[in-house]
Amino acid sequence: MAINILPFGFSDIPSLLILFIIGYVSHFYYRYFTRINPIPGPIPLPIVGNIHQKIGYSLGEWYKLLHKQYGDMFEVNYAGQRIVVLCRPDLLENMNTTSTKTKYPIRFNNTEGLVEYGVSAVGVGHNNVPKSWKFNRQFFTQAMLTPSFNHQAIEWTYELWKEMEIYWNKIGENQELDLGKWMHRFTNEIIFNIATGVKNNSVAAFYYTVVDPESIKTLDKTEQAKMEYSEEFVQSIETYMSGVGYFFVLNKFIRNNVPFFREKIKMLLKNKETLFNRIRKIIKERRYEIENTPLDQPLRHDILTSHITANTPRDINIIKHSDDVDMSRPMVDKEIFGNIFESIIAGTDTSASVFCFVVYFLEHHPEVKKRLRQELDEVFGNDSTKPITFKEIEELHYCDAVIKEVNRHSPVAFMIGRVSSESDNVGGCEWPKGSVFHMYFGSIMKNKNYWTDPEKFDPERFYKVEESDKDKYLLEKKKLKNTYSMFGGGIRMCPGRKLAIIELKCLIACIYRSYDVDLVDYDAPIKYESGFINSCRELKVKIKPRSF
C-alpha cells in the first residue's frame, strides 16, 4: 500500500512551535522537580528562572523577603543557574577557611558573557584559575606592604581632600551637595593615583564640567581639554560597571539578536574597548618611563610600578612571599592590566558608598557623632589644618567601631558568592562539584541569635567590648564565627581592605574635625542601588564650618 506523505507548509509552523514549547517546558519542570537536594524556594519559570520575581526589589530586599518566607537555606534560579542562599553562620563553616586547600576557591562562575566583557582569568577578585589567582594576588600583597605605601596613601588622601575643600568653598556655605557623587569622584581619583601613579583629576573635572560648568571657561585650553578628558574617562568607568549585569544574566543569543539588548550591548562593548585601551596606554607609557630611568634614580611607588618591576632588576618590592620558581617570574601586561583595572573598579564604588552610609548614620545618631568627635579632638588636637599621620589613623579606635557598625547595618557587600571545587556537605545535604552558594550576610548581621539588640545602632558593640559591663553585649563577647563580614573571608578576602580603612578613617577625620554636615532631608531614606553590592547613588547634604 502506498504511503502518502503530506507536504510541510507554513501553516504547520505554529503547531511545531507549540509542540516545541510544550516539550521544552515539560523537560524544564521535569528536571526542576527531580533536582538533587530539593530545598525551599520560589518556583522558577523556563528561561528566566526567578528573575521576574525580583522586579520592584533590590537584590538585598528580595533576599530578605525570601529568607523570611523560606528560612535559613533556600534556592533561587538566575536564568537557568541554580543558586543556594545561606543565612546562618554554621552553614558557612567550610566557605571562609583560610587554607589553600579550601573546597571553595572561587567566588562565582564566569559566564561566557563575562569573559566577553573582560571579566575572566585576570586580576584577583574575578579570577577563577587558582594558579593565576595566586600569582596575581602575591603582587597585590607585595605592592601594599612596601614601607611607604600606608604613608603615601594617607598623604594623597589628605592632599585630595584639601583640593576638594577648595571646590566646596567655591560652591558656598550651606549649599546643597550630592555627597554620593562627590565621594565617587574622590575615591576614584585616590585609587587611580595609588594604582597607576597618575592623577586623573576626577574631583576637579566633576566641579568644572558638572557642578559649575561655566567655571571651566576660566581655565586655559589645555586645562579645559584635561578636565573634559578626565570626565569622559570617569563616565566610561561608570558605563562599564553599569553593563556587567547584562553580560552576567543575558545569554549570547539574546545579547546579539534581541533589538533593544543588541544595541545596548554594542554600545557597552565599544565603551569597553575605549576604556581598556586607555589603561593599556598608561601601562605602556610607564614601562617606557621605567626603562629610560637611570639605575641610580629612584622609581615612584605605586601599584603599577610595583607590578612592572616585580621580579626584575628594578624591583621596588622589598617583601617577597614565594620561593616558588613559577611565582618568581615578571608579570606580563595582560596580568598587570587585570590587577590595575580591578583595583580601580573595586576601590571606587565600595569606599565611596561606605563613607556615605557612615555620614547618613552619624547624622541620625548625634550622640555617636559627638563621641566620634571627642576621639578626633583627642587624637588630632585643635589644629584642623595639621596633616594626618599613619600613627594617628591607627589610634582612631572608636572611628573603626563606627565603620564596623555602619557596615553591619548597611553592608556594601551584603552577599558573597562561593562555588565548590569538589562535593561538600552543606546544611545536611551533599552538594556536587560546581554548586553555587550565596552567603547572605545582610541577614546574618541582623540576626538576634548572634547580635545583642541587632536593630540598635551602637558602635560600642565593637569598641573595647571586653571591658564593657558584664551583662552588656554578651553575644558580641563570644566573637561567634562567620557572623560578621566587611571584606569577605577565607583566601578570597579583599586584598585592599587595609587601604580602604585608611582612606575611610582619613576622610572621616578630615571632614568631621572641621565641618558640620546636615542632611537635606532627615526623613528620607538613603538612595542606593543593590546589584552585586549596595551602592550609594545620592546623598544630599549641606556643609558648613564646624561650630564648637
Q: Annotated binding residues for heme, as ranges?
A: 494
Q: Which residues contact 455 (CB under 8 A, 6 or more apart)?
A: 446
Spatial CA neighbour of 281 closest among 235, 317, 233, 243: 233
Gap between the Cα atoms of 182 and 179, Å rounded = 5
8 Å CB contact between 205 and 181: no
Alpha-carbon span 202 to 185, nearest angstrom? 5
Distance separating the N- and C-terminal Cα atoms of the chain: 106
Q: Which residues pair with 418 in a beta bridge?
A: 437
| Of 462, 507, 463, 500, residue with least CA distance to 483 | 462
Q: Give the whole-angstrom CA distance, residue 103 versus residue 205.
A: 46
Strand runs labelled E in 18-137: 73-78, 81-86
Helices 149-171 and 179-196: crossing angle, nearest 10°?
Answer: 150
Task: Tell me the HSE value of 195 on the side-chain side, using a 13 A CA sphere.
Answer: 25
Which residues carry a binding-site annotation? 494
Closest CA to 473 of 483, 463, 481, 486: 463
Q: Which grid cell sits at 54?
A: 525580583
The radius of gyration computed from the CA coordinates of the chain, to the nearest angstrom, equals 26
**Pairing of the two strands 429-431 and 73-78:** unpaired
Dist CA 51 CA 349 (whole Å): 24
Quote the Cα angle for 55-59-62, to 5°: 70
Answer for the pair 546, 515: CB distance below 8 angstroms, yes or no. Answer: yes
Contact between 290 and 306 under an 8 Å Cβ cutoff? The reply is no
Look up cell 529568607; give the residue: 67
Q: What is the identity of the amino acid at 191?
A: I
Using an 8 Å Cβ cutoff, are 541 and 360 in contact? no
The pairing of beta strand 527-530 with beta strand 534-538: antiparallel
Closest CA to 445 of 399, 480, 398: 480
Report the residue count for the chain: 548
Give the residues across from 528 on adjacent strands: 536
